[in-house]
C-alpha cells in the first residue's frame, strides 16, 4: 500500500472502531509503519472523525515531520515496533470489556484472559498486564519494551489494550478478538468455564503459528 492508501485505511478503521463503540471520545490511537517512518493518529482526536491529511508523520528516528502533533503515546508505539520488527501496525483502544478486565483485583499479571476460544489463541495468545502509569508516562515505554518481544498484545492496567499486527487489518482483528473474549470472560466469571487445553493450544499454534 502506498502512503495515501495507508492514510485512508487508518481513517476507515478508526471510524469503524469508533462507530461500533470500541473506543470513546478522543481515546485510543493507531499507527502504521511506512518504508521510512510512521503515520500515527494525532493527539486528542476522535478516531471516528480522522482527517487523512492531518495524520502525523514521523521519520525513521521517530521525529515529528508534519501533520498535527502526534498521539501522546507515540513513544509507546515506537517501543513496541522496536521489539517487533515483523509488525507494521499498532492499535490502542479503551474498549470497555478489555478495560474492565484490566481493573480486576485478581487478574493474572502474566496472562489476563484464559484461552476460552480458538480465535483468541490464534489472534492474541498470552496477554500480560502492564502496571498502571498515567497516559503518556514514559515509564510505559520501558514496561512495554520488556514484554513486546514475546507478546503481540499487552493490557495496560486500568487503561486498555495495545495490540500489534503485521498490518493494520491484522492489528484491528486482534483487538476485536481481545475485546470480545474479554466480554466472554466477564460473562463466564464464577462459572468455571472449560478452557482450551495445552494440547489444543499447541495444535492451533502448529497450524496457524503464534500471534
Ligand atoms: O488513549 C489515549 C491516551 O491513553 C489517547 O491519547 P492521544 O489522544 O494522545 O492519542
Ligand atoms: Zn489510552
Q: What is the pLDDT of residue 128?
A: 98
- Block means of pLDDT (10 residues each) for the chain, 211 residues, are 97 98 98 97 98 98 98 98 98 98 97 98 98 97 96 98 98 98 97 98 96 90
Q: What is the pLDDT of residue 27?
A: 98
Point out the ligand nearest to the CA of residue 26: 1
Among the listed residues 82, 119, 132, 180, the single catalytic one is: 119
Name the residue with the closest Cα to ligand 1, atom 3.
135
Measured in degrees and rounded to the nearest 5, phi and psi for residue 20 equal -95, 10
Q: How far is the CA of 156 from the centre of ligand 2 (A)?
A: 8
Q: How far is the CA of 31 from the centre of ligand 2 (A)?
A: 13
Q: At what angle do helices 74-83 and 139-148 cross, to 10 degrees?
A: 20
Distant-in-sequence, close-in-space partners of 103: CB < 8 Å, separation ≥ 6: 157, 158
Give the atom of ligand 1 at the shortest distance from the alpha carbon of 42. Answer: 10
Give the atom of ligand 1 at the shortest distance from the alpha carbon of 159. Answer: 4
> Is 73 in the active site?
yes
Displacement of CA 80 from its chain's centroid (Å):
10
Helix, strand and coil percent figures for the chain, each rounded to 5: 40, 15, 40
- Radius of gyration, alpha carbons of the chain: 16
> Is 83 in the active site?
no
Q: Residue ranges of the domains in the chain? A: 3-208
Q: How many CA atoms within 13 Å lie on the side-chain side of 15?
A: 9
Question: Ligand 1 pocket check: which of 135, 136, 159, 163 to mutate, most ligand atoms within 8 Å of Cβ?
Answer: 135
Q: What is the pLDDT of residue 55?
A: 98
Q: What is the pLDDT of residue 33?
A: 98
**Other Cβ atoms closer than 10 A to 128:** 19
Does 3.40.225.10 match the CATH number of domain 3-208?
Answer: yes
Q: What is the pLDDT of residue 12?
A: 98
CA distance 211 to 203: 14
Amino acid at each position: 500500500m502506498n502512503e495515501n492508501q495507508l492514510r485512508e485505511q487508518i481513517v476507515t478503521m478508526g471510524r469503524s472502531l469508533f462507530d461500533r463503540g470500541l473506543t470513546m471520545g478522543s481515546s485510543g490511537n493507531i499507527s502504521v509503519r511506512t518504508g521510512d517512518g510512521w503515520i500515527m493518529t494525532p493527539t486528542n482526536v476522535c478516531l471516528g472523525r480522522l482527517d487523512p491529511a492531518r495524520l502525523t508523520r514521523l521519520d525513521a528516528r521517530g521525529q515529528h515531520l508534519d501533520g498535527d502533533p502526534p498521539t501522546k503515546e507515540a513513544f509507546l508505539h515506537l517501543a513496541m515496533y522496536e521489539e517487533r520488527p515483523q509488525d507494521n501496525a499498532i492499535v490502542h483502544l479503551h474498549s470497555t470489556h478489555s478495560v474492565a478486565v484490566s481493573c480486576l483485583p485478581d487478574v493474572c499479571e502474566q496472562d489476563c484472559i484464559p484461552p476460552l476460544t480458538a480465535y483468541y489463541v490464534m489472534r492474541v495468545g498470552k496477554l500480560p498486564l502492564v502496571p498502571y502509569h498515567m497516559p503518556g508516562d514514559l515509564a510505559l515505554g520501558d514496561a512495554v519494551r520488556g514484554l513486546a518481544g514475546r507478546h503481540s498484545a499487552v493490557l495496560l492496567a486500568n487503561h486498555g489494550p495495545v495490540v500489534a499486527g503485521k498490518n493494520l487489518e491484522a492489528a484491528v482483528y486482534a483487538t476485536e478478538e481481545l475485546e470480545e473474549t474479554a466480554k466472554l470472560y466477564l460473562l463466564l466469571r464464577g462459572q468455571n468455564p472449560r478452557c482450551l487445553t495445552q494440547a489444543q493450544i499447541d495444535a492451533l499454534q502448529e497450524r496457524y503459528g503464534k500471534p
